[in-house]
Structure 1
Amino acid sequence: MRVIRKYANRRLYDTQQSRYVTLEDLRRLIIEEEPFKVEDAKSGEDLTRTILLSIIIEQEQADSEAEVFSNDLLAQLIRVYDMTSPLPLSRYLEQGTQLMLEQQKRLQSQWKQAMRNTPLEFMRELTEENMRFWQKTLNQPGQADESGDAEPHEEDSSDASNDNKPSS
């Protein structure tokens, strides 16, 4: 697991790459599903959760169009902390978010597959296949294509049969 050290000057240091990093760099690690841990450089205290929350705050402020946490939702989350027996919200959010991400990946994959199989794409693939066949056939007469469907020309087959006869 990659270790990131946070110094008193609020700088983050990636011990694996031996360089300072930003919250944006850590966000990219998250997207790439690279595990990391942020620890206080002096005390060794685990600060990962605090840094993850900082990344979320930065994301929320960066693009109001992509806002995930509305004011109402944030107020409701604060109320959950004040409940006498808090709901198992963490587990519910983790599982729900994981399910949503998996479904999103599956949907994107199916969409790419559907777009790949449009009639126009099919015709393009067919044309490319035909071009490869004819280029191979014209460049190497008498040779079969990759699928073995090409037949030798008559003159080529007679030459081939003559090649097998012993010379006198």
Structure 2
Amino acid sequence: MAEQLRLIKKYPNRRLYDTRTSTYITLADVKELVLHHEEFQVLDAKSGEDLTRSILLQIILEEESAGAPMFTSDILAQMIRFYGNAMQGMMGKYLENNLRAFTDIQHKLQDQAKALYGDNTGKNQEVWTQFLNFQGPAMQGVMGTYVEQSAKVFQQMQENMQEQTRKLMGGFPFPGFPPDKTAEKAGDKK
């Protein structure tokens, strides 16, 4: 039988209550649930509003403020610029797919480490660090190639969307769209 979704209630005093264990928990406890891949949902105790994303964002904010941030200011600014942009929905999916691919690569590396060093690699941080130091340049090469391929796919997607827009909107009388072929040919003859 599949385990039910773990329910956490957030009370007006900002305390989190885990209904499974009947105890109050902290953001650090919620982070542990995430790290252990436990499915949960955080609901406002009064309104029933889903606060899961808000709590996860709080955890990210705490991690980013702890001294070893994952995101640069430039990345955060670029992400903010996508809000309200027509590409917002696509960007979310793009990031999600790239994180999934990165996670897949990480699992393959962990499998390789187990094959080389045995089953205790997850427990022995030093062995894992040595493995990553050995595999670091190769990993950077794989990720660089992946990013290049991803950028090419994204560029092709943009070109396809532009071509579809030209086909769709070509019958409508928009000034300058599609570009006047006679004006282009006259410009080429000069």
For the aligned pair, the TM-score class normalised by the smaller chain equals 0.5 to 0.7
Alignment of 1:99-110 (within 5 A): 99-110=101-112
Corresponding position: 1:3 with 2:7: yes
The correspondence for 1:13, drawn from 11, 17, 21, is 17
Shift of 1:97: 0.7
Question: Could you tell me which residue of structure 1 aligns to residue 133 of structure 2?
Answer: none
Per-residue CA distance 1:96-126 (angstroms, 9 max, x = gap)? 111111211210220221234xxxxxxxxxx
Question: Could you tell me which residue of structure 2 aligns to residue 94 of structure 1?
Answer: 96
Per-residue CA distance 1:120-166 (angstroms, 9 max, x = gap)? xxxxxxxxxxxxxxxxxxxxxxxxxxxxxxxxxxxxxxxxxxxxxxx
Question: Could you tell me which residue of structure 2 aligns to residue 121 of structure 1?
Answer: none
Q: TM-score, normalised by structure 2?
A: 0.57
Shift of 1:60: 0.8
Name the CA shift for 1:77/1:40 in 2 (closer, same or farther; >3 Å).
same
C-alpha separation between the residues in 2 aligned to 1:71 and 1:109? 34
Per-residue CA distance 1:28-75 (angstroms, 9 max, x = gap)? 1111110000000000000001001001001111132xx211100000
RMSD (Å) for aligned C-alpha atoms: 1.3
Alignment of 1:13-162 (within 5 A): 13-64=17-68, 67-86=69-88, 88-116=90-118
C-alpha separation between the residues in 2 aligned to 1:86 and 1:114? 42
How many residue pairs get aligned? The number is 114
Q: TM-score, normalised by structure 1?
A: 0.64
Helix, strand or coil at the partner of 1:88: helix
Name the CA shift for 1:18/1:87 in 2 (closer, same or farther; >3 Å).
closer
Name the CA shift for 1:114/1:2 in 2 (closer, same or farther; >3 Å).
same
Structure with larger Rg: 1
C-alpha separation between the residues in 1 aligned to 2:61 and 2:17? 20
Helix, strand or coil at the partner of 2:88: coil
Structure 1: give runs of 5+ residues left out of the alignment. Answer: 117-168
Structure 2: give runs of 5+ residues left out of the alignment. Answer: 119-190
C-alpha separation between the residues in 2 aligned to 1:18 and 1:108? 35
Per-residue CA distance 1:57-96 (angstroms, 9 max, x = gap)? 01111132xx211100000011111424535111111111
Name the CA shift for 1:95/1:24 in 2 (closer, same or farther; >3 Å).
same
Question: Could you tell me which residue of structure 2 aligns to residue 149 of structure 1?
Answer: none
C-alpha separation between the residues in 1 aligned to 2:87 and 2:61? 27
More helix by share: 2
- Runs of 4+ aligned residues of structure 1 deviating over 4 Å after TM superposition are none
